[in-house]
Structure 1
């Protein structure tokens, strides 16, 4: 894949991912207004186990299939990828049924692990938690099949089907969720537990819409794909056992990489409310509120800066695999450097802004739902977006150079740290303990992955560190100016309602963003990130002449 095609594919998926993340954030605003933080917590009680089972059912299939198809296409064999698609659809359908049955049947047991003291549920019952888990499990019947189709298209370096289906899936899911909770609570005067449980069926209807989009793309491109299959210049006679052994060899490590955030959240799911309840550091009901903010409302805001890394992790695997197979070390180095540079350029200022402006940000999106606790959580938790991004991209790089086992090792080590410290830190330090244990776990995981990239890809980080130091400096300056503007505007417009929060936030963001862009342009960082080296060289020459 050329740099232009890499960038184009990345932009397509980045746009789709950002749209999905923004929709996921926007819908939480009216959803929270209707069901409150307790409803958010109940939704997460079902959605987190579903996400873990979904990752296990799909086994990292999209990226694994993408890598498999890309690898053999680079050798001139288009037939084996098509064969994988035909047999894989049945395989993934069986996986989905098994995952659905496991989650549906085990719902009572999972619920008992999540909530030990039903009093923390603020009027809801354990039956509500069980119902929510069972309703969301139905989506597992469809989503795994979508995974292999998306991977097949991505292996053909076609990101459109994944991007469009992803956005349509999210739109339909969100419409169903909001209509369901509104109708049950306001029209039928139903219970919160019933409303949230039915709302989780949105995952099923969204997946159905996404599947329709993928089938439309398949019908549209079927003749072209079949012509490619016939034009194969090489034919690999792999048995089904050999073919799936190779794909599963890619997929299992990828499933662990994709499970990183859900597994960390799973640790929180089984420890946060229980540890905080027993610690006595929070009043009754507050642990559930914190969990809702930590795992949902604040978490949604934090995932937005990570969207770019998610897109890069998808597009990186085929292109790095190709460079690695062709032993093109120069291209490999350039691809890794460009990826890290862009990730840092966009992610660092975003997390500085979220952390600095945490209270007006949370107030703007979720007023008046628990803005004090939400602002506190967002202030300390926002920098985790950088850790999420580095983990996702590093895992994709390791997958591309066939060293994915180090990503698995890294994740396991990070999870051990999280699991070992989470309950203790929560019990001793309160809510911040869960946040800090996440930092420590991800920090260890990333350190292991970067070490592996340096050793096995021969990548040198020195140049990257020099180039990106300015990003951290400019982001710090930006954060300082944004903080000053925030303090000034809060003096004249205290945050007592949504309007004042909007005034404080918009003025602070405008000044901060302007400062960052001006500094980036003035010192050539923007030109470097976008690849406009001639302009940078011209700027340097002018400086030397002066």
Structure 2
């Protein structure tokens, strides 16, 4: 009996440790992802200013180039970072650290080969992917260089995440973005302001900055590897030796595991590529639009709004990166209860962050759009609508990661295939009815269906306690709506005294709106103890500091 009691206490400790790791890991990944996303959005202000009248065309060109780059990036890394993160967590969970080390080395060989192949295809096949726009060719080729080194960099991130060391990944994300932004702004200023050069050249150099950023990330990860090398060597030395798993077997496992990751992780990119290659072909069928009008409309939802709502989605990406290794460890130990609780915790944590962030973005859409791009009524409407769609995209990112973490890859690929079919079916009707908002509408509906199928699958397998999740979920929604209403009222009042159409006035209007909105949500979550329930007892200290009883 005493032994059973000890085992129960040990099990409880492991589950608490698992939850702590998830929250700590999420904090690191969220910090890295958010800061890099914010930095990746802030550069837009000077970049758009220096490009002047060409800014919307440049944004459209940049977005199209990056959609292709993202697709090749997923193929080049072959889903290996996430697959390795999951497999490393699996072998570490059964104390076979030596297998994890060999897994990393095997993955590097595969990724380096894929990087060379994809770079070559992008260099020599750019003309086949230009979508009828010759300006795309130099942009695609400039992005090809980054594909050479990013696969190895991404695999190193995945390996360290398999140990639940999230800090190196988070810091490397920030440094990667910092190096990239510094180079692209310097190059754009030199070309547009000093040389009075071509805007296409400025975009090409801005996209080449991805290579410069990757070099910065490699430096950070190299330093992190050296710092943890002794600890990793000790774990290998004291872990179980498994000689039955050969290098060839590991490479086969990596490729087998990574194929679903390629498809699943490229889900959002696939939807963006559908928009890229269908929007300009379908728009002439619903009205008379010039090439410039279509480029500008495409830029509004594919670049301008995308850059801003992706900051919100990066919160979901941070959760996704954290949950895969933790769920893989629970799966390796066949702990059904832990998997169920982790899925519920991740969903609630996602709602806690994503819903207020999306509603907040919608509430300040006019001011934030004006600060980044100058005032544009159409752009503001697109951003407001895109903010709500970002909830569906973010949930897909987290839910798909959890499906991978519990090895339901085939089922996840089937769900994604259903969503893609729905996207194709709805694309033209939605563009016909909503024009520029059409692609976002079809994406939102498709993602809703995919998310429903995933959550239904979780419920069938793990019997999620929706009854226990209902109260905190309703609290999050209610507090978010109160925050939205409060922020909107503040913005309307300020708008009566300060012009919301200028960049500087919009910026100074934005600050009190954000403070009030964040303050309302924070107060309600602390007052109701919702934050304690989702983030742990440490939040009590914040409540004491703010004198909230």
Answer yes or no: same fold by TM over 0.5.
Answer: yes
What is the CA-CA distance between 1:533 and the residue it aligns to?
A: 11
- Which residue of structure 1 aligns with residue 517 of structure 2? 512
C-alpha offsets along residues 468-497 of structure 1, whole Å, 9 cap, x if unaligned? 111111211222222222222212223231
Equivalent position to 2:484, from 457, 460, 479:
479
2:173 pairs with 1:156? no
What is the CA-CA distance between 1:445 and the residue it aligns to?
A: 0.9
Q: 2:107–2:254: 8 Å Cα contact kept in structure 1?
A: no
- Which residue of structure 2 aligns with residue 293 of structure 1? 300
Q: 1:298–1:374: 8 Å Cα contact kept in structure 2?
A: yes
After TM superposition, the structure 1 = structure 2 runs for residues 132-281 of structure 1, keeping only pairs within 5 Å, are: 132-280=139-287
- Which residue of structure 2 aligns with residue 433 of structure 1? 438
After TM superposition, the structure 1 = structure 2 runs for residues 32-43 of structure 1, keeping only pairs within 5 Å, are: 32-35=48-51, 36-43=55-62
After TM superposition, the structure 1 = structure 2 runs for residues 500-539 of structure 1, keeping only pairs within 5 Å, are: 500-532=505-537
- The secondary structure found in structure 2 opposite 1:189 is coil
Equivalent position to 1:57, from 70, 76, 84:
76
Q: 1:397–1:453: 8 Å Cα contact kept in structure 2?
A: no
C-alpha offsets along residues 344-365 of structure 1, whole Å, 9 cap, x if unaligned? 1111111112223321221122
- Which residue of structure 1 aligns with residue 379 of structure 2? 374
Query: Structure 1's 249 and 42: CA in aligned 2 closer, same or farther, altered over 3 A?
Result: same
- The secondary structure found in structure 2 opposite 1:127 is coil
- Which residue of structure 2 aligns with residue 491 of structure 1? 496
- Which residue of structure 2 aligns with residue 310 of structure 1? 317
> How far, CA to CA, are the matches of 2:22 and 2:329 in structure 1?
12
For the aligned residue pairs, the C-alpha RMSD in angstroms reads 2.0
Unaligned runs of 5+ in 2: 1-16, 541-549
- Which residue of structure 2 aligns with residue 92 of structure 1? 111
- The secondary structure found in structure 2 opposite 1:496 is coil
Q: 2:319–2:398: 8 Å Cα contact kept in structure 1?
A: yes
C-alpha offsets along residues 399-445 of structure 1, whole Å, 9 cap, x if unaligned? 12111222211211111111222233213431121110010110111
> How far, CA to CA, are the matches of 1:29 and 1:408 in structure 2?
38
Q: 1:77–1:236: 8 Å Cα contact kept in structure 2?
A: no
> How far, CA to CA, are the matches of 1:185 and 1:380 in structure 2?
33
- Which residue of structure 2 aligns with residue 543 of structure 1? none
Query: Structure 1's 478 and 223: CA in aligned 2 closer, same or farther, altered over 3 A?
Result: closer
Q: 1:10–1:312: 8 Å Cα contact kept in structure 2?
A: yes
Q: Which runs of 4+ in 1 moved over 6 A?
A: none
TM-score (norm 1): 0.91
Q: 1:128–1:194: 8 Å Cα contact kept in structure 2?
A: no
Q: 2:531–2:539: 8 Å Cα contact kept in structure 1?
A: no
What is the CA-CA distance between 1:288 and the residue it aligns to?
A: 0.9
Query: Structure 1's 148 and 534: CA in aligned 2 closer, same or farther, altered over 3 A?
Result: closer
C-alpha offsets along residues 288-311 of structure 1, whole Å, 9 cap, x if unaligned? 112122122211211122222211
> How far, CA to CA, are the matches of 1:458 and 1:247 in structure 2?
31
After TM superposition, the structure 1 = structure 2 runs for residues 107-126 of structure 1, keeping only pairs within 5 Å, are: 107-111=126-130, 114-115=131-132, 126=133
What is the CA-CA distance between 1:28 and the residue it aligns to?
A: 1.8
- Which residue of structure 1 aligns with residue 456 of structure 2? 451
2:53 pairs with 1:69? no
Q: 2:106–2:251: 8 Å Cα contact kept in structure 1?
A: no
- The secondary structure found in structure 2 opposite 1:274 is helix
2:109 pairs with 1:104? no
Q: 2:282–2:428: 8 Å Cα contact kept in structure 1?
A: yes
- Which residue of structure 2 aligns with residue 419 of structure 1? 424
2:101 pairs with 1:82? yes
Q: 2:106–2:250: 8 Å Cα contact kept in structure 1?
A: no
